[in-house]
Amino acid sequence: YLSSLPFDGFAIGGSLGKDTAEMLDMLAFLMPQLPKDRPNHLLGIGDIKSVLGAIPHGVDTFDSTFPTRNARHGQLFTRSRGVVNVERAENATLHEPPCALCPCALCSNHTLSYLHHLYRAKEPTAATLATAHNLHYMGWLMQSQREAILNDEI
């Protein structure tokens, strides 16, 4: 019924299951019933595993506090190291960018040891730099997914 109405797009939210697998099962059932010519938005989902799992089902956009909340708590998403917990002791002596593949302001101008120091000193700049980095990472992730879709890889 909803797909017959003249909505500009569809928002999917509410109870999405008890875990990622259940959410993806729900999307496998739901997405074929929605029009393919309109955008589909998944509300409140933004962790990397869920985003990568939802895109092949036809979800176009996401919103979540996941990347910014994780940044405020000292976690960086990187292409070269995976998830980095900045506050770990080994980062105190790593005088290299958090991600060598990332052109964001944090990775272009600062080291993991510097960011580690900022977090340990409770300096607000740490969360600002980490948040901008994680948002840059999510932009890169979505761009790479768009390219994969255009190349018929997804």
With a cut of 80, say whether residue 1 has pLDDT above it: no
With a cut of 80, say whether residue 116 has pLDDT above it: yes
| Cα–Cα distance measured from residue 23 to residue 108, given in angstroms and rounded to the nearest whole number | 37
Identify the CA nearest to 53 among candidates 29, 31, 83, 23. 23
**Cα torsion angle, 126, 102, 52, 5, sign:** positive
| Tens digit of each residue's pLDDT (9 = 90 or more) over 119-146 | 999 999 999 999 999 999 999 999 999 9
pLDDT (mean) for 14-29: 90
Task: Give the pLDDT band (50/70/90) at residue 48.
Answer: very high
Which of helix, strand or coil describes residue 75? strand
pLDDT of residue 42: 95
